[in-house]
Chains A and B, each alone.
Chain A
Amino acid sequence: DGGITQSPKYLFRKEGQNVTLSCEQNLNHDAMYWYRQDPGQGLRLIYYSQIVNDFQKGDIAEGYSVSREKKESFPLTVTSAQKNPTAFYLCASSISWDQPQHFGDGTRLSIL
């Protein structure tokens, strides 16, 4: 079954720790994205990658980092510099940047 897998579904972090969220897709899509969603709000773009070994900052990249070493993987690291990391994080992919995006089921990050 083709799709986008995000893991874990729930994640807890202590203050001052970095944490990495996984996103894997087996759709052979070139483009991948990370979004953040806060309660009652729309999605905000953190980072995006149009092709392997290339990525760009979105609207709220501060305190986050990404890598795109493989086509199928686009992990997001939430660093200790992110002051308010508690949120619902969504990964998406698309065949190319101009085509519809397909989303994973998200990771809910909470600070202990």
Chain B
Amino acid sequence: DAKTTQPPSMDCAEGRAANLPCNHSTISGNEYVYWYRQIHSQGPQYIIHGLKNNETNEMASLIITEDRKSSTLILPHATLRDTAVYYCIVRPFSMNTGFQKLVFGTGTRLLVSP
């Protein structure tokens, strides 16, 4: 019951920006967009999340379109260690709805090459 669509795989050259798209056309007004990544045989790592404004942290930038139906995760200078599966997840936040689980789809497998 994943509510996002991501390409199954992408390639990126080391040192270049990696732009990972995510489609969430049915997103609701109270749903956040979360990004996680999973390096082989490790647990997922939280990257960033946002509601409607663009967000940036030390790992990445998140660009959300004005209509909120899609977003892009940007790794500005990809390294070999960024090779991983990247998951885009939408999750509602409202104190009235109570606990809402994270729904991990199959993500985008990003391969960063020298």
On A, residues with C-beta under 8 Å from B are 4, 6, 40-43, 45, 48, 50, 56, 58-59, 90-92, 97-98, 100-106, 108
Contacts and interface: CB of A to CB of B under 8 A. Distances in A.
Contacts of B42: 105-106
Interface residues of B, number: 22
Contact of B43 (A50, A58, A103): A103
> 4 tightest CB-CB pairs across the interface, nearest first?
A103-B43, A42-B104, A43-B104, A100-B46
Chain B interface helix/strand/loop/mixed: loop
A45 B99 contact: no
Interface centre among A6, A43, A102, A108 (most CB of B within 10 A): A43
Given A40-B106, A100-B34, A105 B99 contact: no
Given A59-B101, A104-B43, 20 more contacts: A4-B43, A40-B106, A42-B104, A42-B105, A42-B107, A43-B102, A43-B104, A45-B101, A58-B101, A90-B44, A92-B43, A92-B44, A97-B98, A98-B100, A100-B34, A100-B46, A100-B49, A101-B102, A106-B41, A106-B43
A110 B13 CA distance: 37
Interface string B69-109: 00000000000000000010000010100111111111100
B39 to A, nearest CB: 10
Interface in B24-46: 34, 41-46
B10 interface: no
Interface of B: 2, 34, 41-46, 49, 87, 93, 95, 98-107
A102 B2 contact: no
24 contacts: A4-B43, A41-B106, A42-B2, A42-B103, A42-B106, A43-B44, A43-B104, A45-B101, A48-B99, A50-B99, A58-B101, A59-B101, A91-B43, A92-B43, A92-B44, A98-B95, A100-B34, A102-B46, A103-B43, A103-B44, A103-B46, A105-B43, A106-B42, A106-B43
